[in-house]
Structure 1
Amino acid sequence: MERYEILKKIAAEIERGEVSFPTSAVVALKLKRALDDPDCPLDHAARLVQAEPLLAAKVVAVANSTVCNRSGRPITDVRTAVLRLGFRYLRALASAVVSRQLAAPATARDRELADRLWQHTAHVAALAQVIARRVTRLDPETALFAGIVHEVGAFYLVSRTRDHPGLLDEDFPAWSESGEAEVGRAVLKALAVPQPIVDAIEVCWQGFLAMPPTTLGDTLLLADELAPVESPLRDLDGCPREGMAASIDLLVGEETLRDILRESAADVASLTAALQA
């Protein structure tokens, strides 16, 4: 079967609900759905977080990042961390755990792909939050969430190499075309990701950055271009982007984008480290 046909088959399976999530991802999904209820009690949310060790560690780590804890006083318990972050942040972090746990790589090479993909994701999410706050003036938490889930389809494909050996071989040409979008849309739909986030990810897939950037899609694409770790699957498609980030010098008031990112470097480093914890 041709690889593009395999991608279509995988997307169709997801559309039919034939997608399985690891136990930790199921807990994170349960938390995400509970937090969709604005009346969800804080203690209930904290108990759900505590039920998944990876999520609990990530919540406490992010709550202690310089972005979220300007006082510098360490937070050492889940309930306080949940209170500090709020439910919208928790939904984003729950999605992070789902993304990370989707991939169950079969080989050492696939594990390396998954690790690099997560490093890329963490950098994009952290940069998107800073760019939203300082450049495009959009909601930083929404931008963080978009960055966390923008490669979720790629994580799922890494997990399917067990069933389709060679799917992500180095001469894989379909990833940058409609196959990426088909699988990505299907997984995003299965995770009930809001349509504005999906629309922003579509902009990232298309690769067209408006100047000056103003939308969530622009924010996400700019973060993707500036991330120091590139998506490993982009290396497989044979068509790397042509160094857009190297030529970016966007004037924002009296500051350049580079100045803003330099000033925010500590925040980006802190949040990236917390997301990768």
Structure 2
Amino acid sequence: MDRLEAFKSLAAEASRGELTFPTNLDATLKLQRALDDPDCDTETAARLVQAEPLLAARAVAIANSVAYNRSGNEITNVRAAIQRVGFRTLNALVAAVIVRQLDSKITDPHLRAMADQLWRHSTHVAALAQVIARRVTHTDPDTALFAGIVHEVGSFYVLSRAEEFPGLLDGEPGEWIEFGETAVGRGVLGKLGVPSTVTDAIEAMWHGLRALPPESLGDTLLLANDLAQVPSPLHVRPGATSQQSAATIDFVIGEGSLQSILDESAEEVRSLASALL
């Protein structure tokens, strides 16, 4: 099977919902559904999260990040962390665990390195998207954070299957965009139950449709993707840096500019991206 046939095969599987997920993902998806239950209160959520050490540690780290800890008072337990960040941010953290579990079975060192870089890229996009949503596009910051975390979930899935198809990630970027990003990505987002509002924004980002100044969630994601300090290993733009992108798309916002907002929010973005790791 050549590369194009392999992509088409994965895309066909995704469109039918026949996706191969790691076994540990089932437990996390059950946790996600439990937290989504309207009757789930803070005490119940804390018990559920404490049963997942990675999620528990990440919840406390996020609660103590600059983005959420304005007072400087450090939190040391899951219950207090949930009270501070809220259920919507908690759901974004569960999504982060789900995305990382997709690449858990990768053994090839090169693919492992790509997956690690892809996650660092995703955390930067998520942190930037939250800031941009709050201060530039005035869309919902929690939704932007969630969208940033899951925007490369199709790429993680393809990486998780790449060892089955040698040479899958070689060749022209156009094939990756058509089959890997769009077809497979859409299927994985659907299988994971990502809301249509977020899926639509991610698809807008795939197609590069951005308004200036940015206004929508899709604009927010695309701008964050352009500005992320860590590039995606699957969408490398030769010679491009976050500083060059910012200079290219800088614009006036009120009495300031995009660049001034990025400068003011640099520590917040760094702290939030680090906590997501």
Give the TM-score normalised by the residue count of structure 2.
0.92
CA distance in 2, matches of 1:27, 1:82: 20
Q: Give the match's secondary structure for 1:66.
A: coil
Displacement, 1:16?
3.7
Contact 2:125 2:221 in 1 (8 A): yes
CA distance in 2, matches of 1:240, 1:168: 21
CA distance in 1, matches of 2:154, 2:61: 25
Contact 2:3 2:167 in 1 (8 A): no
Q: Would the alpha carbon gap of residues 26 and 59 (structure 1) be closer, same or farther in structure 2, given more than 3 Å must change?
A: farther
Q: Give the match's secondary structure for 1:234.
A: coil
Task: Report the number of matched residues.
Answer: 274
Cα RMSD, aligned residues only: 2.0
Contact 2:75 2:81 in 1 (8 A): yes
State yes or no: 1:218 paired with 2:216: no
Displacement, 1:32?
1.7
CA distance in 1, matches of 2:271, 2:247: 24
Moved more, 170-179 or 255-264: 170-179
Contact 1:92 1:144 in 2 (8 A): yes
Contact 2:63 2:85 in 1 (8 A): yes
Contact 2:14 2:183 in 1 (8 A): no
Per the alignment, residue 45 of structure 1 pairs with 45
Contact 1:128 1:220 in 2 (8 A): yes
Per the alignment, residue 122 of structure 2 pairs with 121
Per the alignment, residue 266 of structure 1 pairs with 267
Question: Where in structure 2 are there 5+ consecutive unaligned residues?
Answer: none
CA distance in 1, matches of 2:214, 2:40: 36
CA distance in 2, matches of 1:81, 1:23: 28
1:140-175 residue CA offsets vs partner (Å, 9 max, x unmatched): 000000100000000011100121122123656511
Q: Would the alpha carbon gap of residues 11 and 53 (structure 1) be closer, same or farther in structure 2, given more than 3 Å must change?
A: farther
CA distance in 2, matches of 1:164, 1:98: 23
Q: Give the match's secondary structure for 1:128.
A: helix
1:103-138 residue CA offsets vs partner (Å, 9 max, x unmatched): 132310001000000000000000000000000011
Q: Give the match's secondary structure for 1:95.
A: helix
CA distance in 1, matches of 2:121, 2:150: 11
CA distance in 2, matches of 1:264, 1:229: 17
State yes or no: 1:186 paired with 2:187: yes
Per the alignment, residue 18 of structure 1 pairs with 18
Per the alignment, residue 106 of structure 2 pairs with 105
Per the alignment, residue 62 of structure 2 pairs with 62
1:250-276 residue CA offsets vs partner (Å, 9 max, x unmatched): 111111000001001111011011001
Give 1:190-201 correspondences, 5 Å limit: 190-201=191-202
Contact 2:154 2:180 in 1 (8 A): no
Moved more, 193-202 or 26-35: 26-35
Q: Give the match's secondary structure for 2:160.
A: helix
Q: Would the alpha carbon gap of residues 17 and 249 (structure 1) be closer, same or farther in structure 2, given more than 3 Å must change?
A: closer
Per the alignment, residue 27 of structure 2 pairs with 27
Displacement, 1:43?
2.2
Per the alignment, residue 2 of structure 1 pairs with 2
Structure 1: which amino acid aligns with 2:98?
A: V
Moved more, 207-216 or 123-132: 207-216
CA distance in 2, matches of 1:241, 1:9: 33
CA distance in 2, matches of 1:191, 1:183: 12
Q: Would the alpha carbon gap of residues 189 and 163 (structure 1) be closer, same or farther in structure 2, given more than 3 Å must change?
A: same
Give 1:85-234 correspondences, 5 Å limit: 85-103=85-103, 104-169=105-170, 173-234=174-235
Displacement, 1:23?
4.8
Give 1:229-240 correspondences, 5 Å limit: 229-235=230-236
Q: Give the match's secondary structure for 1:131.
A: helix
Per the alignment, residue 71 of structure 2 pairs with 71
CA distance in 2, matches of 1:178, 1:9: 9
Structure 1: which amino acid aligns with 2:178?
A: E
Contact 1:92 1:145 in 2 (8 A): yes
Moved more, 40-49 or 130-139: 40-49
Q: Give the match's secondary structure for 1:73.
A: coil
